[in-house]
Structure 1
Amino acid sequence: MNQDLSIVAGAVCFALLLLQVPATFILLSRLFKGPFRQPPLSPLSPTPDQVGAVSVVVPTLNEAKRISPCLAGLSRQSYEVREIIVVDSYSQDATPDLVKEIQKKDPRFRLINDDPLPEDWVGRPWALHNGFLYSSEQSDWILGIDADTQPQPGLVASLVKTAEAQGYDLVSLSPQFILQYPGEWWLQPALLMTLLYRFDPAGTNNQSPERVMANGQCFLCKRSVLAALGGYTSARSSFCDDVTLARYAAVQGYKVGFLDGAKVIKVRMYEGMAQTWTEWGRSLDLKDAASFTQILGDLWLLLSVQALPLLIVFTYLLISPFFSFSAFPLVLLLRLNLFLLAIRFALLFAIAPSYDRTNSKSNWTFWLSPLADPLAFLRILLSSLYTPTQWRGRSYAKMQKA
């Protein structure tokens, strides 16, 4: 029986090695680019040639509880911002009142309502599209900003200067995250790691169009380019419209960048672990911007290098007191997964600057987030299997049936 057990164990180990070894090399090829990436953007002051260069568009729907820091942060931007267009989708809370109040102090703010949502559009790209159509043609750049962000002084000037200096037609930023509760400090970094494992770090050279990454929370595009792309129409039915539009632009030959913006923009996306799991988790698969083959490849990678290492090491520790395993495949498998776990814990130090720790006493669970990696993979897997029917208070059941 021991011999039969050894044969089975050896076969399982060999199969896992075939699954994990190629994925490990892919992961390492991406992580090795990290030390050579561009440094995070720093706040800058505008130059005279940037006067009125940017129209900011903020899509809103019942954002009264979290939009105030965004409005205040945008108001602190300098003369490079020509106008700040808040496109409200008929909020039922005090969102319009907050915009009207700051409008009294800063005439650059404009409040409009988008047209009724067409059946083949998702709410966010539709609001951004309406804001683009309403914006001044004298602006050279269109900047989409989410209501849950907290723009820091010097954000827009720094973003425009970087885009112009490096020749980007479209560029977006990864933010610094604001977390509060132990559960989200534990889960959110594991979900973020699913992006880091699948794509190059922010600030590295763009990959092929199908691997381009973007973040709609802070999304700058040349007005002429956005017009040539038809506004947001290419991403109208996408629940990850930022990535969909960025990849479409890359296919058309435009230069797309994704940079580290931790020093110039912060974001408080969700309240607690449950909301993080439900809301953010269901868009992280990026299936609306990827082919079926790419989705399968990403799931294989995440299973191999993020979900399995903890499970394999834990299983070995659980059964090793009862069985004697010394076969070469098992030893190699164990060492490989210990190596992957070591990488995962080391990456905590790499992503630590992407989190604001100033106002949270529960951030110690951040260092335990690798224990949530199997859950993070499960969330991506579940999200990849279905299209949302509810999003930000809207129903998309008809779109799913279509």
Structure 2
Amino acid sequence: MADWSNLINGIFLGLLLLQVPAAAILLSRLLKGPSRHPPLIPRTPTPDMLGSVSVVVPTLNEAERINPCLAGLSRQSYEVREIAIVDSNSQDGTRELVKAAQQQDPRFQLMTDDPLPPNWVGRPWALHNGFLQTSEQSKWFLGVDADTQPQPGLVASLVQTAETEGYDLVSLSPQFILKYPGESWLQPALLMTLLYRFDSAGVDAQVAERVMANGQCFLCRRSVLATVGGYTSARNSFCDDVTLARNIAASGFKVGFLDGAKVFKVRMYEGARETWQEWGRSLDLKDASPAAQLWCDLWLLFSVQALPLLVLSSYFLLPIPDFLVRAHGYAPLPTPSLLLGLNAFLLAIRFALLFAIAPSYDRSQAKGGWLFWLSPLADPLAVLRIFLSAFRTPTQWRGRSYHQD
């Protein structure tokens, strides 16, 4: 029986060796949270900001969700020179909705991007076309996704923050709108995979490879974007926002990723199934990361997000028979207690983080919104989704088909 005991303790010790350094890395990141930049709040523009921003919105069959975006952009003030909707030949009425908005606000412009060239993904191609066709007199370029709901004062707040803090590029994390039970449970677990791998919004990354960005609201100095060739360096990336932001940071420019929950909302996907399929395909960030970094991130997620629930549930639901560890006077090492203590601590952190991310969710319309508080139970599933995505290149993305080489 001593051999069984040694085997069991060996497994426990192996798990500890796997988890302890990952837990130390996680804690080093979370401890930066109290010093982060405060969330942006709506602001009023100043006269020197007149016509300083060109907004570009890429669209492809967005009729079901673009109206709140158009309305929100129209409520921005005189700092916005133009709002270019770059459409990829939508067939669902998107173009008609934009034309209707144009009748109410002449800043709207409807453009059609050229046919998608080889080695380009649709979204960066549309944004690149928008960059080339909008006014060079604008100091700032702002990319906005069609599923966002900009609040009044968003653009002024972005520009004032960038000017004050000296950012050349700044993007924002949104407030996510939840509506259905499944997504209320799964989506926060998927979001947590980002928080575990990277510093929280409002903490500036010290190296380009750890920069985070969100293309749903992506403000960049036009001169900087021109210097790096627009979106060409991210042309074949399915996470073009992070890829471009890291390339810009690597060129020596200052990049920030801040909390925008008070200035814009987003309704990304309808239900848990679509959240799993669509968002999960880009969360691995493999297009923006070296292979070694991707593997390290997968190890971290597995160790500190997936394992705690699995270890604790396995131990209590499938207890180790006492005779295996105490027969023949064998005294086991204290590794079981250490392992249980570490995983209980990690799970407690995970539940505590729910209060930290709660402002990032609008659950006022959600059915079964209480499932948000049980989202740590979805962590192993969320980590599995990142693993599955990390080794697959998407063949379908936002209504387009892509062929793998």
Aligned to 1:273: 272
Q: Cα distance, 1:318 vs. partner?
A: 1.4
Aligned to 2:363: 357
Alignment of 1:132-151 (within 5 A): 132-151=131-150
Q: Cα distance, 1:273 vs. partner?
A: 0.2
What per-residue deviation string (whole Å, max 9, x for no partner) do you get for residues 72-121 of structure 1?
A: 00000000000000000000101000000010000000000000000110
TM-score by length of 2: 0.97
Residue aligned with 1:173, SS: strand
Aligned to 2:176: 177
Aligned to 2:127: 128
Q: Cα distance, 1:323 vs. partner?
A: 3.4
Q: Work out the CA distance in 2 between the residues paired with 1:195 and 1:369.
A: 15
Provide the alpha-carbon RMSD of the alignment.
Answer: 0.9
Residue aligned with 1:8, SS: helix
Q: Cα distance, 1:321 vs. partner?
A: 7.0
Q: Work out the CA distance in 1 between the residues paired with 2:356 and 2:4.
A: 41
Aligned to 1:389: 395
Q: Assess if the C-alpha contact under 8 Å between 2:36 and 2:203 holds in 1.
A: yes
Q: Work out the CA distance in 1 between the residues paired with 2:198 and 2:181.
A: 27
Aligned to 1:25: 24
What per-residue deviation string (whole Å, max 9, x for no partner) do you get for residues 224-272 of structure 1?
A: 0000010000000000000000000011000000000000000000000
Aligned to 1:159: 158
Q: Cα distance, 1:168 vs. partner?
A: 0.3
Q: Work out the CA distance in 2 between the residues paired with 1:128 and 1:205.
A: 25
Q: Assess if the C-alpha contact under 8 Å between 2:181 and 2:366 holds in 1.
A: no
Aligned to 2:84: 85
Bigger drift between 200-209 and 330-339 goes to 200-209
Alignment of 1:3-402 (within 5 A): 3-320=2-319, 322-323=321-322, 327-397=333-403, 400-401=404-405
Q: Assess if the C-alpha contact under 8 Å between 2:204 and 2:255 holds in 1.
A: no
Residue aligned with 2:269, SS: coil
Over the matched positions of the two proteins, sequence identity in percent amounts to 72
TM-score by length of 1: 0.98
Q: Cα distance, 1:386 vs. partner?
A: 1.1
Q: Work out the CA distance in 1 between the residues paired with 2:248 and 2:115.
A: 27
Q: Cα distance, 1:50 vs. partner?
A: 0.3
Q: Work out the CA distance in 1 between the residues paired with 2:156 and 2:170.
A: 13
What per-residue deviation string (whole Å, max 9, x for no partner) do you get for residues 312-360 of structure 1?
A: 0000001227436664011100100000000000000000000012222
What per-residue deviation string (whole Å, max 9, x for no partner) do you get for residues 175-233 of structure 1?
A: 00001111000000000000000000000122200000000000000000000010000
Residue aligned with 1:200, SS: coil
- In structure 1, runs of 5+ residues without a counterpart are none
Q: Work out the CA distance in 1 between the residues paired with 2:134 and 2:13.
A: 59
- In structure 2, runs of 5+ residues without a counterpart are 326-331
Q: Cα distance, 1:38 vs. partner?
A: 1.1
Residue aligned with 1:12, SS: helix
Residue aligned with 1:102, SS: helix
Bigger drift between 294-303 and 388-397 goes to 388-397
